[in-house]
């Protein structure tokens, strides 16, 4: 069975850093694009970044470019989101999700983790 488990969230001051992790199991992790999506409390879904199977292609939403870095370690079946220069508006529940089809980017996500909460506040 496919599982995605996020960790690393917490309370951080504005300007601080945090690294989120997402561990996958039950599927061929190295064969799928992976993505991070966030959701502020009471708000909608917001795509953050995605990364190709081998890490050679990466895309970010405009507001996190230069501050967030997505990367993966296929040997550990994990994808990460390094978040620097955090702002109050980055406060959200962060989900990782799996692109549905192996080896290509389809842009739709069939498995999601339960999310990890990031709070940016002084």
**Between β-strands 116-120 and 10-12, what pairing exists: parallel, antiparallel or unpaired?**
parallel
Site membership for another protein, residue 44 (CB under 8 A) = yes
**Between β-strands 45-51 and 116-120, what pairing exists: parallel, antiparallel or unpaired?**
unpaired
Identify which range of 9-17, 55-63, 65-73, 77-85 contacts another protein by CB under 8 A.
55-63
Radius of gyration of the chain (CA): 13
Residue ranges in 62-81 that form contacts with another protein under rule CB under 8 A: 62
Nearest Cα neighbor of 95 from 27, 21, 13 is 21
The CB-of-122 to another protein minimum distance in angstroms stands at: 28
Site membership for another protein, residue 59 (CB under 8 A) = yes
Site membership for another protein, residue 114 (CB under 8 A) = yes
Nearest Cα neighbor of 112 from 88, 96, 93, 92 is 96
Q: Which two tokens stand for residue 64?
A: 């996190």
Residue whose CB is less far from another protein, 23 or 105: 105
- Judged by CB under 8 A, the number of residues near another protein is 24
The CB-of-6 to another protein minimum distance in angstroms stands at: 10
Residue whose CB is less far from another protein, 16 or 47: 47
Q: In what order do the strands lie in the sheet with 68-73?
A: 3-7, 18-25, 78-83, 68-73
| Binding interface with another protein (CB under 8 A) | 35, 37, 44-47, 50, 57, 59, 61-62, 95, 97, 100, 105-110, 112-115
């Amino acid at each position: 069975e496919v599982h995605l488990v996020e960790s690393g969230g917490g309370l951080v001051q504005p300007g601080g850093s945090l690294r989120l992790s997402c561990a996958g199991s039950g599927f061929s992790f190295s064969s799928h694009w992976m993505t991070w999506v966030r959701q502020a409390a009471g708000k909608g879904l917001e795509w953050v970044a995605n990364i190709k199977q081998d890490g050679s292609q990466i895309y970010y939403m405009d507001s996190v470019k230069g501050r967030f870095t997505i990367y993966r370690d296929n040997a550990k079946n994990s994808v990460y989101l390094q978040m620097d220069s955090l702002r109050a508006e980055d406060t959200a529940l962060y989900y990782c999700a799996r692109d549905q089809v192996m080896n290509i980017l389809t842009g739709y996500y069939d498995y999601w983790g339960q999310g990890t909460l990031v709070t940016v506040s002084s």
